[in-house]
A and B are shown apart, each in its own frame.
Chain A
Amino acid sequence: MMMIEQREETSKTETERRAKQSILRSFSSGEDIIAWLADRFQIDTQEARSFGSMLVALGYIYPLQDHKRLLIKPDASLYRFQTPYFWPTQQWPVEDTDYAIYLAKRNIRKKGILELHEQEQYNRLHKWMNHKWDFIVMQAKEQYRAAKERKKPDRVVFECQERAYWVVHRPPPGTVSAMDYGLERRIDPNADETKTPDFYERIMIFTQQSIMRPRVKSSVSIGALVKYCTTYNSHDPFLSKCLPSNPWLTDDVTFWTLNRLNVEVPSKMRVERWTFSFGELLSDPRGRDDFRLFLKKEFSSENLAFWESCEDLKWGTAATMREKAEQIYKTFLARGAPRWINIDGKTMEITVNGLRHPHRYVLDAAQTHIYMLMKKDKYGRYIKSPVFKDTMKKAICPEEHKFSDAQLEQNAKNRRPSLSPIILRQQELEQRAKMAANAPVDITQLCRFTTPVPHLAVYSGITDSPSLAFPAPSPACPSPISVALDSTSACERRLEADERKPEALGPVRGPVSKSRMALSLRRLLKRGCTPATMFASLSPKCHSAAGTSSRIQPISPDEPSQAPPRRIGNFFQIKVDIPPECRIYPIESEDEDEANRSASRGGVGTKEIICPWESLTPHNGTG
């Protein structure tokens, strides 16, 4: 478009020049210029005004007052013509050297007080053009002295001209310039390419591939396009009004603050978008939060957690990939994992085989499966659920702004830069960590084989603090997780069962846990559990390990609970050395015995686990 403008301009410069001669004064008011343009080119005032603005934006005319707003105002504000040296017509490259010389000159004149953006540019150019800096300083001095040779009014005009030129080509923040500087390319993509054999070979490959491409019937594709357009028409800020107001037009950022990623109350348009497709819901963080809430109520939040962790694996850094894959496996996929997801056998087989050599997309099949599961089943229910309906009711519909011209100018003056993306990223990471720390473990999966492993903080929702204590005292143990699984399975199981007792409100899936719950209830009633231990179980999950340790001691003797957390490490170290079959806890009933033995057997069985890491690393813990 710039090229077209330039061609127009070059054709018009002749006529312009003649016309400019006819305007005898050295400056003109805006309205005069517009009137003359309308008269000369036989166009109406509105078009003359936009043409005039284009002239100003390109740098042919510059305003004398308010030199940073590059448009023509139809009042008595004054404009002056730019000297041909500074015209953009010939498309001479705008050199950084010249800009540096200009800044140095300005520095001399202003005695070191430059505007902020000028100061920044100055420092930047000083850094990058250091080898030429002597030259720049010398030239600046000489040019300054040469300019001083002229009379004062000419000097002022000269300074104005130069300043106007640089306002167009290096616009200060807040100035909209017409110069769109694209990337500087070595090859001009519009130039004709020489017809070499390589060129023809590329064309041949391209045409062969296009023949092989799968084709869709145009009725289908056009139908999809039409559907898309009709659905998203009212959501497109170009095609329909953007409530409250489009920040790019009115410089008012309410729209962005209302539509932040983690805003409490979303807008109605946003909520409506969630109903379009499942992808929309998941890609909007606020929608995802809402969905997560719904899934928590349905006790199937492990699906979304798994999906999110797969995304994290796909998009994360290569260095962390292995640990992430390991964690995901142990949290979601392993037999006996705390948040076990329900995928079919074939996918599980593929995934586990792939995990032997983990790469970024190793969990793709499982992720797709879970995604389709959520989409087909949960999404529909979510849309009909009270959670969604509640959100929709609470969603706000902001009023449209009606700014007057003066207010628009005020807004333009008050433009401020937004938060740095670095800060935003930090906030995001903090929030994620907080969420990981506070999220509860899924209740449904607490059956005989599930044990909440304290180490896996990320997606199982347990804090890192207990896990930090463990590796320190027991560094020798290569995979403490499996050992911990074995040794603590029984006591954890008991803890879980006891914990579940007070929280028996929620529906618990799986008959196994129910029976276990019933059993444990009976057991506890038989034993007469102390209220202290019960209250300990009521405390939030992050103290589970503390609770565990405190519970382990009272199980054998009936000592008061709440051993200090520091004892955890020692305790577990002791426990680690003892083989799991050894019964530390008092045996109250037969079924507990059986449970213990089967758990340990299960523990032994889990040692032959399909988990590829454990098969590779030798066990010396519970041998």
Chain B
Amino acid sequence: MGKEECKTMLDALNKVTACYRHLVIALGSTSDSQNLREELKRTRKKAQELAVANRTKLTALLKDKTISKDDRAEYERLWVLFSSSMELLEVDMKRSLEIGQDFPLKVPTRHLIQTGMTGSTTTVAARAMSVQNMKYEADSNIDTADLRDLQTEISQVSQMMEEMEMKVQVAPWAVEAKQEAGAELKSNMSVGNSSVGVISICEEEPKEEEGGGGSSKGFASICAVIVFFIIVFAALILGYLVINMS
């Protein structure tokens, strides 16, 4: 169904936007590097593809006059999600352009800010690209070439957003937010429930963690259990020997 497709695509766009923001924050600091620039570029491209796909889908859905009122409300909500994501993306792209220009990489002495971040951002980018490992194959003058591309892309995105505003008549303030899968407590958007609703999100978080991502934590806990049993076993053996001796 069109709605489900839309939602999955929007989720993907959302994820990529979040990762892009995370990467841009790392720009200019000591965790900046060639790789980061390449990650930024790739994430950006992916974001743009998703954006274009989303836009075509949603405009097609919204232009359809034969859909019911509820459906229309739902599509408007998705539209608001989409346009907010695009706004964030545009802002981040502009900022990355400025920071990228201020902090060039190909100069004899790099001046990067010591922020205390030392690790790399490969995992974040991998998450954005939905791949397991990132492969870096860019050439050495990525920063200057990339910046030119970035400028054109920014203008493309701004243009796209203007078109969106013109073509689709959606009043963003008229959309009522509701939460779907995840935070049922948020479905009736009363102010009192909102914080409770977010608690339910975070309740969801640990469950997800234990399910999928907390593999290292699970491993550590298993090790601890094994060591415990070994010690108990050794204590039993010693006790048996002592009893035998006496």
Which A positions have Cβ atoms within 8 angstroms of B?
17-18, 20-21, 23-27, 80-86, 90, 92, 95, 97, 104, 107-109, 111-112, 114, 119, 122-123, 126-127, 130-135, 137-139, 141-151, 153-154, 157-158, 161
Contact = CB atoms under 8 A, between A and B. Distances in A.
Contacts of A132: 80, 84, 172, 177
Contacts of B198: 104, 107-108, 112, 137
A157 to B, nearest CB: 4
A34 to B, nearest CB: 17
B119 A144 contact: no
B128 to A, nearest CB: 8
Nearest to A154: B119
B116 A27 contact: yes
Nearest to B77: A134
Contacts of A134: 77, 80-81, 177-179
Contact of A133 (B17, B22, B174, B189): B189
B221 interface: no
B173 interface: yes
Contacts of A97: 84, 87-88
B21 A158 contact: no
B177 A133 contact: yes
Given A154-B119, A161-B25, A122 B194 contact: yes
Nearest to A127: B191
A146 B196 contact: no
A122 B195 contact: yes
Given A84-B29, A137-B198, A139-B17, 17 more contacts: A21-B109, A21-B112, A26-B114, A80-B116, A83-B26, A85-B24, A90-B95, A92-B91, A108-B201, A130-B177, A131-B177, A135-B14, A137-B183, A137-B201, A146-B127, A154-B118, A158-B117
Contacts, number: 176
- If over half of A's interface residues share one DSSP class (helix, strand or loop), that class is named, otherwise mixed; here it is helix
Interface stretch (B64-72, B96-104, B135-143, B236-244): B96-104
B193 to A, nearest CB: 10
Given A137-B183, A137-B201, A142-B15, A131 B174 contact: yes
A83 B115 contact: yes
A396 B168 CA distance: 71
A130 B173 CA distance: 8
Interface of B: 11, 14-15, 17-19, 21-22, 24-31, 77, 80-81, 84-85, 87-88, 91, 95, 98-99, 102-103, 109-119, 121, 123-124, 126-128, 172-179, 183, 186, 189, 191, 194-199, 201-202, 205, 213
Contacts of B205: 108, 141, 144
Contacts of A80: 115-116
Contacts of A126: 189, 191, 194
Contacts of A107: 195, 198-199, 202
B116 A157 contact: yes
Given A142-B15, A146-B22, A21 B195 contact: no
Contact of A111 (B123, B199, B213): B199
Nearest to B99: A84
B31 to A, nearest CB: 7
A72 to B, nearest CB: 17
Nearest to A161: B115
Top 8 A-B residue pairs of the complex, sorted by shortest distance between their CB atoms: A142-B18, A26-B116, A84-B28, A149-B123, A133-B177, A112-B199, A135-B84, A17-B111
Contacts of A148: 213
17 contacts: A17-B111, A26-B114, A26-B118, A81-B114, A85-B99, A86-B25, A95-B91, A107-B199, A108-B202, A122-B195, A123-B195, A134-B80, A135-B81, A137-B186, A137-B201, A158-B25, A161-B25
A139 B18 contact: yes
Most buried by B among A27, A85, A161: A85
B114 A25 contact: yes
A419 B202 CA distance: 38
A146 B92 CA distance: 16
Most buried by A among B15, B116, B119, B196: B116
B114 A85 contact: no
Contacts of B197: 137
Contacts of B172: 131-132
B30 to A, nearest CB: 8
Contacts of A138: 11, 14, 81
B99 A24 contact: no
Given A84-B27, A108-B205, A137-B183, A153 B118 contact: yes
B176 A85 contact: no
B213 to A, nearest CB: 7
A250 B84 CA distance: 45
A84 B113 contact: yes
A130 B115 contact: no
Nearest to B214: A148
A134 B198 CA distance: 11
Nearest to A103: B198
